[in-house]
Amino acid sequence: MRDARLHAGIPIKPVYGPEDLAGVDVERDIGTPGEYPFTRGIHKHMYRDRLWTMRQYIGFGTPSETNARFKYLMAHGQDALNVAFDLPTQLGLDSDDPRAEGEVGRVGMAIDTFADMEEAFAGIPLDRVSVSLTINSMAAPITAMFFAVAEQQGTSRDRVVTTPQNDILKEFVARGTWVYPVDPSLRLVGDLIEYSARHYPRSNPVSVCGYHIREAGCTTAQEMAYGLAIAAAYVDMMVRRGMDVDDFAPRVSFNFTCWGKIFEEVAKFRAGRRLYARMLRERFGAKNPKSCMFRSLIGGGGSSFVPEEPENNIVRGAYIALAAALSGAQTMALPTYDEAYTIPSAKAQLIALRTMQICAEESGATDTVDPLAGSYYVEAITAEMEKKIVAEMAEVERMGGIVEAVKAGAIQAEVARQAYLFERKLASGEIPKVGVNCYVGDQRAAADQEVELYSCDPKVSAAQVAKLEKIRRERDHGAVDASLARLRDAARGTENLMPPIMDAVRAYATLGEIARAMKDVFGEHKEPVKFA
């Protein structure tokens, strides 16, 4: 008999029955949709009342090019935006910085000043379109630019809906676009959470992102465990800053991936929702039910797609969409079939959008709330997944907690170890990948396939630099210098840094200048190297 187990290491039985639910208390553990502990979803009627938000990840080249792609997808039914920024922007480098050479506009939109953000959102009504900003170390200044655009449009603050990722701990673990050391980086996360809670009540000032940790190589259970541990660290930080948990927790959001086995992903999210709800109520004393809601963007992991026979990725995307729907997503984003080898083309992004729309309108996945509830198999592996997640969270605590484990490089080393083990299983065929390590076709024919490759035009960098130079010539230099001096002074103290950052943005200080002003005070992070 063929052996089967989940990526989380849970062995799968050939048949499940009532005896597998012996330890499950239906009322306590499963409950009712829209009610604590939200195992069956955070809303009573889920997709019967409102479909998930469809939010493809978009951004490349100049702000004007990205603006055109925004409008293209919105014209085809996309109802929200998810913005990609180039690496210089993510790292707080201006487009004319020598370290930005060759990367301007390559993997996302280039942003140097408030003027670029104005261009990116020209003609997009920010009182009606919610926007995710995939930015972390530079979340404070980039979100400040977004707030300034909303101000310029005359949008009431209580109508602005934005979600900066602002999850710096997972950057230290998985992606590497950190700038400042851990403690001042956490201060910036907290400053944006606090400022948003007080001034932009519908914004989601942090999106805890297990997604990238999973993409970096951790297991399914670790993805959820590390995400929950990071969320707990942010909540604890804000409570210690003097905020009531119910004043900010309702706007905490999550971003997780969904590219493994369908039922494993469903179990991960069901277990994660109830663990988070219990943590907020029992550990942090949350009284508002909304504080306990695990609101999630579920995006397919791009690493699950392969360049071999790329059209197969369209099929993989459809299964990811189904898994995300069955998992209870509030927002969905899919990788595109060409994402394994290029920046997504307009055609590929439209296919991904249509895939979500077909799942929503034609598959029947939205007809009833949590259609897998009560399945012997799903409920049994949800219980097992919960145990795995709890065990991984206990291991994090044994390391001294997520912040100390990140500072020491312990989490990073464990993720790297798991990535190595996963790649070995792919190479051996233990984890099957159709067209790659099983059912492999004629590779010579595959090599001759015509594929559309994105080419980063060198003119993008030249255009950005020319625009940047023009801004520098024409702005009020006194106002810029004064705003940056105020920012440095504030960084030396303990006040919230968002107001001086807002002032610098409005004066058209560059992103690099704002980042450098804080770097003068905070210094730069030095990555710890630790081997598991």
Q: Which residue has the higher pLDDT, 32 or 530?
A: 32
Answer yes or no: is 387 within a domain.
yes
- Judge if the upstream peptide bond of residue 37 is cis by omega within 30 degrees of 0: yes
Same domain, 231 and 262: yes
pLDDT at 179: 98
Answer yes or no: is 527 within a domain.
no
Query: Of the candidates 447, 479, 507, which is a domain's last residue?
Result: 447
pLDDT at 135: 98
pLDDT at 76: 95
Count the neighbouring beta carbons within 10 Å of the beta carbon of residue 116: 25
Closest CA to 192 of 151, 244, 251: 251
- Rounded CA separation 518/491 (Å): 6
Give the domain CATH number at 180.
3.20.20.240
Same domain, 373 and 466: no
- Rounded CA separation 531/189 (Å): 28
Same domain, 395 and 499: no
Residues 292, 196, 249: CA angle, nearest 5 degrees: 10
Domain span including residue 190: 18-447
Count the neighbouring beta carbons within 10 Å of the beta carbon of residue 391: 11
- Count of domains observed in the chain: 2
Token pair for 458: 């060198």
Instruction: Categorize the per-residue pLDDT at 5 as very low, low, confident or very high, splitting at 50, 70 and 90.
Output: confident
Answer yes or no: is 431 within a domain.
yes
Instruction: Categorize the per-residue pLDDT at 527 as very low, low, confident or very high, splitting at 50, 70 and 90.
Output: confident
Instruction: Reduce the DSSP state of residue 523 to 3 states and report it.
Output: coil
Same domain, 441 and 467: no
Answer yes or no: is 4 within a domain.
no
Q: How far is CA 101 from CA 62, 106, 341, 375, 422, in A?
A: 15, 10, 21, 54, 34
pLDDT at 445: 55
pLDDT at 521: 98
Query: Of the candidates 398, 417, 447, which is a domain's last residue?
Result: 447
Q: What DSSP string describes 184-240?
A: HHHHHHHHHHHHHHHH-TT---EEEEHHHHHHHT--HHHHHHHHHHHHHHHHHHHHH
Answer yes or no: is 279 within a domain.
yes
Same domain, 381 and 497: no
pLDDT in tens, 120-153: 999 999 999 999 999 999 999 999 999 999 999 9
What average pLDDT does this structure show over 372-394?
97
Same domain, 408 and 285: yes
Q: Which residue has the higher pLDDT, 51 or 448?
A: 51
pLDDT at 425: 94
What average pLDDT does this structure show over 141-167?
97
- Rounded CA separation 344/338 (Å): 6
Answer yes or no: is 204 within a domain.
yes
Answer yes or no: is 374 within a domain.
yes
pLDDT at 7: 82
Mean residue pLDDT across the chain: 95
Same domain, 112 and 188: yes
What average pLDDT does this structure show over 33-49?
98
Residues in the chain: 532
Residues 77, 83, 85: CA angle, nearest 5 degrees: 150
Chain center to CA of 103: 22
Same domain, 493 and 352: no
pLDDT at 532: 56
**Is pLDDT above 70 for 470?**
yes
pLDDT in tens, 219-257: 999 999 999 999 999 999 999 999 999 999 999 999 999
pLDDT in tens, 291-323: 999 999 999 888 899 999 999 999 999 999 999
**Is pLDDT above 80 for 12?**
yes
pLDDT in tens, 425-444: 999 999 999 999 999 987 66
pLDDT at 370: 97
**Is pLDDT above 60 for 447?**
no
**Is pLDDT above 90 for 328?**
yes
pLDDT at 220: 96
Same domain, 436 and 465: no
- Write down the pTM of the prediction: 0.96
Query: Of the candidates 447, 481, 503, which is a domain's last residue?
Result: 447
Instruction: Categorize the per-residue pLDDT at 531 as very low, low, confident or very high, splitting at 50, 70 and 90.
Output: low
Report yes or no: 58 and 86 within 8 Å, Cβ to Cβ.
Answer: no
**Is pLDDT above 90 for 493?**
yes
Answer yes or no: is 2 within a domain.
no
| HEC assignment per residue over 404-441 | HHHHHCHHHHHHHHHHHHHHHHHHHCCCCCECCCECCC
pLDDT at 4: 85
Same domain, 488 and 430: no
Same domain, 509 and 410: no
Chain center to CA of 413: 21
Same domain, 347 and 476: no
Report yes or no: 488 and 517 within 8 Å, Cβ to Cβ.
Answer: yes
Token pair for 89: 């922007």
